[in-house]
Structure formats: structure tokens, C-alpha cells
Structure 1
Amino acid sequence: MDMRMRGRRVLVTGAAGGIGRAAARAFAGEGAHVAVTDRDAAALAALVAELRAAGVAASRHPADITVEADVAAAVAAAAAELGGLDAVVACAGISGPVGTMLAETWTTKWDAVFDVNVRGVFLVLRAAIPVLRAAGGGDVVVVASDSALVAAPGMAPYCASKAAVLQLARAAAVELADDGIRVNAVCPSIVDTPMSRGDLGIDRDDTAGFAGAAYAVQTADEVAAQLVFLASPVSRPVNGAALVSDFGYSARSSFPA
């Protein structure tokens, strides 16, 4: 299917690794012009060099997603370099204290998760709105999680933050519909990324990875394809939606049949 992304201008946050890097490559592969941001300047430089070597129009804008001035500057610079923005894809996120029960969770750890996962998405979205309006509309896709809908012990900050991200996307979709701006969310289950490997005690360089795990795991490239679909004109009627990609886990009943 032609995603009709050729020549569209896309900003990807959290692009230094994991889902964000896969997303930048996926949009580039569809012919989009890509701007990337992350606090890891060296990884951004390597990614942009890779994209440009493949003939892709790409630019990098290092920023800390939790710092208002950084986010505003990165969005403005990306729009200036690409001549505007047609889509913004918010991938930056952290897992926080996985395995720590709520009663033992420090306030600083809770705040750190919300700063990146919720405040970061809010700052990016707010900075992007006037740029997307200037383009006559556009698309925003945020990376939430199936943890916005189901919960596991020891992940309260992450679950709560992703639920907030999902509801922020819905609220923004309602507010911005008349501007021609769509806002959707992807809610994947476990994704094979350096972050999830670290959370689950798997070496990031282990080629076996999640092989043999008792649960289904998707790749960052699979999530990136979901992001491309939701940011593309192909999905024009879809707005305020949560694309849950969890291998059907949340659809299962606990009824013992």
C-alpha cells in the first residue's frame, strides 16, 4: 500500500534509539523528509548521516524533551529547515522504576517518568500546533502503551503516565479537529528495544533477545509501521484513536472456559 508520505515533512522525537529510530527510518523509507530530536546528540548525528547517505532530506535538533525552551527551539528549527511540518511523531519515553511497588516508589522517580512521558508529549504537541496549523493541518501520533489500558505490578508510574498520554491524545484530537489536525496513539505491548531489554534483564547485544519468552514480543520496526500508517493520509478518517497492538491480550476474557 502506498502510504502517500513522499515529500511530507515529519518530526520524530526520541529518535536516538528504539522505536524513535525505527520510526525515523520508516518514514524516510516512505519518502518523507525527516527531522529528528533527542537528548543524545551523537546518536542523532549518526542517524542523520545514515539517512542523508541514503538520499533522504534529514535534519537533527538535539533537545531535552522535558525542557520547554529546548522543545520550542527544536520544533521551530525543524520546521524552518524542512519548510514546515506535516506530521509529528512523539516517541520519547522512559519506563522508570520497573519492579518497584507503589508503596516504595520515590516521588522523584514518579516525577521523572511523568516529566518525560507526559510533560514531554505536552510540550511537543503544544509547540507543534501553530506549525501544523500554518501547514493547513497535519497529523500527530504519540507512543502510549498497552500499559495505558492494563497494568502489571511494579509499574505504577509507567502505567499511569501512559494512560495520561493516551487521554492527552484524545483531548487534543477533539480540540484540534476543526484545524484539520488529527491526533492518534499507538499502544504496543512489549517491544524489543534497549529499554525493554534493560527492564527485563536481557543484554542489549544478545542476539537471542526475547527468543523463548513466554509472551509475545514485537519489534521496533513493527511499531514504526503502525506510526507511519496513523501519520499518513491513508488513515485520514482515524482520529482520537488508540491502536492497540498487543497480540489480542487485552481482548481476552478471564472467564475459565
Structure 2
Amino acid sequence: MTDLRLEGSRVIVSGGGSGIGLAVAAAFLREGAKVGIISRTAQTVERALAGALADSDGLVFASVADVSDESSLAEAVLDLTTRLGGLDHIVASAGVEGEMGASLEEVTEQGFREVLNVNVLGAFLLVKQAAPHLKLASEASVTIIGSDSGFVAAPGMLAYNASKGAIVQLTRALSFELYEDFKIRVNSVCPSIVDTPMARRGMGVDSFNDVPFPVNTPDDVAWSVLFLSSPLSRAINGVSLMSDFGYSARSSFPA
């Protein structure tokens, strides 16, 4: 088995209490990393620590914060970095879906702002607060959870599409700024639909078992995050990795 060289590394995962973030946190733990999770509510943290992150042998820590609130997030990052004994990797996974199914006329200003505040501002603030600590590490990385919605559009997803498009360019901009002087790599993973509570809620389904399209599991995304965080991917920087079963590569030509 390939050693991803993540054992003993120190990781913070925002949105780490559920969905993709929880799968990412659990995957890092299996690799022998020390993990700090940030979640918006204490209830989500408690469920994660009693469930997928139970029996972690003291390698997991948690803090409650709103990623769109800089002071709250700053306290969480400092708290977790202190308890982890430093910081090597961060994963920005916190996200919201917004007013799914709403037409242009139905999307509210408040709803649009909330999606941008969590999905884009939240990712930016996490990197900003973590950067001073990552600059002290020798093989640091940042991975942002994006979406295929940053490249293709679907009706009824205006705010979400806009936010994930912003993540693609934020990834590029951060990758240049942080790599030149500090060799911190920044990439994003951009999956198509992932079977998470948020996706089920947004699409109004109880299960994806019978849908006529392929669906990522949270573990599918977690494996991509592990690879991009690993020193083995040291040449990969500024990439938004599509994880959509090849759908975006298809031509519209009717052949």
C-alpha cells in the first residue's frame, strides 16, 4: 500500500462535522494524522465525535465557529492549532446550498449573500487565519471543496453556481500568492453531486439509490483530498480537480 506520508501531520477541516468534511476528517485520521474540525453547531460536533470520529485515540479535536465570522473563525483556528501542536494542512469544506430550485426572480438578496458568505468568504477567511501557521510547516497544503457547478450550470442554482465559480478563481489566486514565497500548495476538489445530507435536502430526495446519474460518495471526495494534501502531489498546485465521472468532458454534438 502506498504511504501518503500524512502520518503525524496536523489538519484542520472546516465543515468537519458532517458530509464531505466529516469523511475527510475520518480519512485523515485513518492515515495517522491529527485532526481538528470546525463546525457551526455544538450538536453537529457531538454527533461527529460520537459517530465517525469516535475511538480516535485523542487525535481529534473540535471547535465551534461560523466560518463567515472572522473573529469566531480566528479563535477556532488558533485554538485547534494550539491543541494540534502546529498546522500542516487545511481543508475548507464548510458550505451551504442556498435557495435550490428558485428562479432568478425568486432568489432573495439575503439568500444569495448567505451562500457567498459561507462558500466563498468562509473559505477565504479560513486560509487567511491559517496562513501564518501553515507558513511554519515544510510541506503545507490547502484544499478547498468546490463543485462541478463552478464549471457548468444547472437551473435553480444561481447562488451556488456563482459561489463555486468563485472558488475556482480563488484557488488559482491563492496558489500563486502562497506558493511563491512559502511553497504552500492550494488546490480544490470539484465533485458533481455527492450523497450528503445537504445534497439530499437541496434536491428534495431521501436517497440517491435510483437516480439516473452517477453520484459521488463522501469517501470518493475524501480520497482526492488526501492525495492533493500528500507530499506525493508536490507538483500539483492551482488545480481544480473535477470529480464528475467525465460528464463535463462530453461534447454537445449529437453523435
Question: TM-score normalised by the shorter chain: which range applies?
Answer: over 0.9
Unaligned stretches of 5+ residues in structure 1 = 204-208
How far off is 1:49 after superposition?
A: 5.0
Q: Sequence identity of aligned pairs in percent?
A: 47
Deviation readout 1:121-167 (Å, 9 max, x if unpaired): 01101001111012245100000100000000110100000111121
After superposition, the CA RMSD in angstroms is 1.2
Alignment equivalent of 1:152, drawn from 151, 154, 173: 154
1:248 aligned partner, one-letter code? G
Q: Which residue number corresponds to residue 101 of structure 2?
A: 99
Alignment equivalent of 2:200, drawn from 194, 197, 202: 197
Unaligned stretches of 5+ residues in structure 2 = none
- List aligned pairs for 1:16-165, cutoff 5 A: 16-48=17-49, 51=53, 53-165=55-167
1:223 aligned partner, one-letter code? V
Q: Which residue number corresponds to residue 14 of structure 1?
A: 15
8 Å Cα contact 1:45/1:60 also seen in 2: no
3-state DSSP class of the match of 2:152? coil
3-state DSSP class of the match of 1:37? strand
8 Å Cα contact 2:4/2:231 also seen in 1: yes
8 Å Cα contact 1:144/1:162 also seen in 2: yes
Aligned residues between the structures? 252
Q: Which residue number corresponds to residue 239 of structure 1?
A: 237
Structure 1 CA distance, aligned partners of 2:58 and 2:20?
19
TM-score by length of 1: 0.95
8 Å Cα contact 1:13/1:36 also seen in 2: yes
Moved over 4 A (4+): none
Structure 2 CA distance, aligned partners of 1:47 and 1:93?
17
8 Å Cα contact 1:88/1:128 also seen in 2: yes
TM-score by length of 2: 0.96
Structure 1 CA distance, aligned partners of 2:141 and 2:68?
22
1:198 aligned partner, one-letter code? R
